[in-house]
Amino acid sequence: MPTENPYRLLTEALVTRRDVIADRAHYERDPQSHLAALQRASEEISNLQQTLTPPVPAQLIHFLERCSYDKALAYIKEMNLDGSKP
């Protein structure tokens, strides 16, 4: 069985975090639960960062270390690291 592309998993985690942030209804309904979901998403990103095998692009490392997650997501997509483009 082939291993999962770690950049695709990271992309999914970054999108999940962005979606959690955008879910204002969840925040208004239950701020504590919303915060917990955001923390879980952020922890997943952090955990996945550790699974990236060298060489990891320096620009991506820069974005992830500074929690510039939208920029990291855009970079992964632009460089096709997640394998989403044919």
Q: pLDDT tens digits, residue range 26-77?
A: 999 999 999 999 999 999 999 999 999 899 999 999 999 999 999 999 999 9
What helix, strand, coil percent values describe the chain, rounded to 5?
A: 70, 0, 30
Q: How far, in Å, CA of 4 to CA of 8, rounded? A: 8
pTM of whole model > 0.85? yes
Return the domain boundaries, the chain. 6-78
Give pLDDT, residue 4: 86
12 contacts 47 by C-beta, under 8 angstroms: no
Token pair, residue 70, equals: 């939208």
